[in-house]
């Protein structure tokens, strides 16, 4: 179905060991109540892919399609905007402006001057920054977004559309993360990041609680029929961890969560090999821009080091193979280059007997995939999909 290409896979030797509670259930209930109350909220579709199931010799494959989430084209619409809302409500209370303001009141313009005096910021490859910018615009804060130099102009423009100031940082995503943190400290701004580290976990925790809603929707759409496997792509690991937590909450511990990364930015695979969180050096020169991350998120690693069943890295070419595969099916599915690593890994593994056996893929397997973004850079999408084979 796609060409065979080399990939790397490691079973997680710590799978199933006890660990800390990364995302408390009370926090998720708050996130779900807030996000589902927003105008335009609707569960995204769960699309069966019978042709993929046939090619992969499994019972069924389901694709959670995030291409239209809140009009932002990515699951990240669930996380950054929610964290901005939580931050503003808390900060306005701390400053004595409003002890019990609601997000709906902020959206309608309440305490506009006080909210505008609060600046939120983050580093982004595109999608998270768009969500933070949308949240800042909706709830009244000022927003400055840092991007590294290889983020496309199309993605920069999509963020700026929501009123954010864009600042470009030389180097990689991780360099932009450090510059956002440095500037925020100097200017008394608030970092709203999906990357957590020592001393900075509460806001990323809110972001990840928002991501869980995507997995809960999928679980409800499956109507109690638990998947045997879930393949989920990862950058710093926030969404993969959120998916692992929610699938465990919905179905128990038996779903095998497989974390998939670009071969040129596989920091979670490297961490699993090392037995501790480690960073991946270099330019992180992967086409999968949303996954071009060299350092795991602390919270994500605390979850995935024990709940991920396996870690896989795939080549950029396979991500493009899957983009074209989905674009040419009927009905068409639009998936950006950072959305397809999970499906690429499934097809590559399914075609290789030893890897297939290691993951326990067989004719009874039911696989859940997450199409985490649509064409978030329309020009790049068209270039990749329409490029001759």
Reduce the DSSP state of residue 61 to 3 states and report it: strand
pLDDT band at 69 (very low <50, low <70, confident <90, very high): very high
Q: Is residue 1 part of a domain?
A: no
Position 384 confidence tier, pLDDT thresholds 50, 70, 90? very high
* Closest C-alpha to 257, from 277, 227, 216: 227
Other beta carbons within 10 angstroms of residue 360's beta carbon come to 13
The 10s digit of each residue's pLDDT in 160-219 is 999 999 999 999 888 998 999 999 999 999 999 988 999 999 999 999 999 999 999 999
Q: Which domain holds residue 319?
A: 8-75+209-386
* Catalytic site residue from 76, 256, 316, 321: 76
Q: Which pLDDT belongs to residue 221?
A: 98
pLDDT single digits (tens) 302-345: 999 999 999 999 999 999 999 999 999 999 999 999 999 999 99
Beta bridge pairs of residue 262: 314
| The one catalytic residue among 125, 174, 206, 316 | 125
Relative to beta strand 308-314, strand 256-262 is: parallel
| Residue 213 pLDDT | 98
For residue 229, tell me if it sits in a domain: yes
Domain check: are 268 and 176 in the same one? no
| H-only helix segments in the chain | 25-35, 50-56, 80-94, 103-107, 112-116, 127-139, 153-160, 173-187, 202-221, 238-251, 267-274, 298-307, 316-327, 341-350, 353-359, 378-386
Inter-CA distances, 325 with 5, 318, 375, 389, Å = 16, 10, 15, 11
Q: Are residues 224 and 158 in the same domain?
A: no
Q: Over the range 109-118, which residues count as b (16 or more CB within 10 Å of their CB) and which as e? A: ebbeebbeeb
142 plus 189 within the same structural domain: yes
Tell me the residue length of the chain.
389
* Same domain membership, residue 336 and residue 312: yes
Rounded to whole angstroms, how far apart are CA atoms 169 and 89? 30
| DSSP conformation letters of 169-237 | ESS-HHHHHHHHHHHHHHHT-EE--S--BTTB-HHHHHHHHHHHHHHHHHHHHTTT---SEEEEE-SSS
Same domain, 217 and 330: yes
101 and 240 inside one domain: no
Query: Does 64 lie in the same domain as 135?
Result: no
Q: For residue 308, give the H/E element and its range.
A: strand 308-314
The pLDDT mean for the chain works out to 95
pLDDT tens string 254-273:
999 999 999 999 999 999 99
Query: Quick one: 232 and 114 in the same domain?
Result: no
Whether residue 378 lies inside any domain: the answer is yes
Rounded to an integer, what distance in angstroms lies between the CA atom of residue 58 and that of residue 154? 38
Q: At 97, which CATH number?
A: 3.40.50.1100
CA dihedral of residues 296, 372, 40, 154 (deg, nearest 10): 90
Average pLDDT of the residues in 126-145:
95
The residues pairing with 378 across neighbouring beta strands, listed in sequence order, are none
User: What pLDDT, in 10s, does the model give residues 272-287?
Assistant: 999 999 999 888 889 9
Per the CB < 8 A criterion, the answer to whether 364 and 228 are in contact is yes
Give residues with Cβ within 8 angstroms of 359, minimum separation 6: 9, 229, 256, 258, 309, 310, 349
- Show which of 139, 158, 193 is a domain's final residue: 193
- Shared domain for 64 and 130, answered yes or no, is no
Number of domains in the chain: 2
Determine, yes or no, domain membership for 90. Answer: yes
Same domain, 321 and 306: yes
Tell me: do 265 and 237 sit in the same domain. yes
Instruction: Give a yes or no: residue 266 inside a domain.
Output: yes
Query: Do 65 and 100 have their domain in common?
Result: no
362 catalytic residue (yes or no): no
Identify whether 125 is a catalytic site residue: yes
């Amino acid at each position: 179905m796609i060409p065979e290409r080399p990939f790397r896979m490691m079973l997680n030797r710590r799978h199933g060991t006890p660990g800390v509670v990364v995302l408390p259930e009370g926090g998720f209930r708050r996130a779900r109540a807030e996000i589902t109350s927003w105008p335009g909220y609707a569960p995204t579709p769960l699309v069966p892919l019978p042709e993929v199931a046939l090619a992969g010799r499994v019972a069924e494959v389901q694709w959670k399609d995030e291409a239209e989430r809140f009009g932002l084209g990515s699951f990240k619409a669930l996380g950054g905007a929610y964290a901005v809302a939580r931050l503003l409500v808390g900060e306005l209370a701390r400053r004595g402006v409003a002890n019990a303001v609601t997000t709906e009141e902020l959206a309608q313009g309440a305490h506009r001057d006080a909210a505008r005096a609060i600046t939120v910021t983050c580093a982004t490859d595109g999608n998270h920054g768009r969500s933070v910018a949308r949240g800042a615009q909706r709830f009244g804060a000022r927003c400055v977004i840092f991007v590294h130099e290889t983020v496309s102009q199309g993605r920069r423009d999509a963020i700026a559309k929501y009123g954010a100031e864009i600042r470009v940082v030389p180097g990689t995503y991780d360099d932009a993360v450090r510059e956002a943190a440095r500037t925020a400290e100097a200017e008394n701004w608030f970092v709203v990041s999906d990357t957590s580290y020592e001393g900075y976990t509460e806001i990323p925790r809110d972001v990840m609680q928002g991501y869980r809603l995507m997995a809960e929707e999928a679980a409800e759409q499956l109507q109690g029929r638990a998947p045997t496997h879930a393949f989920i792509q990862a950058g710093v690991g926030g969404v993969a961890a959120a998916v692992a937590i929610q699938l465990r909450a919905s179905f128990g511990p038996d779903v095998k969560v497989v974390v998939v990364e670009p071969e040129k930015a596989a920091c979670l695979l490297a961490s699993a090999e090392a037995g501790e969180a480690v960073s991946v050096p270099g330019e992180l020169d992967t086409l999968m821009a949303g996954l071009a991350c060299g350092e795991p998120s602390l919270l994500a690693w605390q979850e995935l080091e024990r709940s991920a069943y396996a870690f896989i890295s795939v080549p950029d070419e396979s991500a493009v193979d899957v983009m074209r595969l989905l674009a040419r099916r009927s009905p068409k599915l639009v998936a950006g280059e950072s959305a397809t690593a999970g499906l690429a890994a499934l097809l590559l593994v399914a075609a290789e007997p030893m890897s297939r056996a290691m993951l326990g893929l067989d004719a009874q397997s039911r696989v859940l995939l997450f199409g985490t973004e649509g064409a978030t850079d329309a020009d790049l999408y068209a270039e990749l999909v329409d490029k001759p084979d």
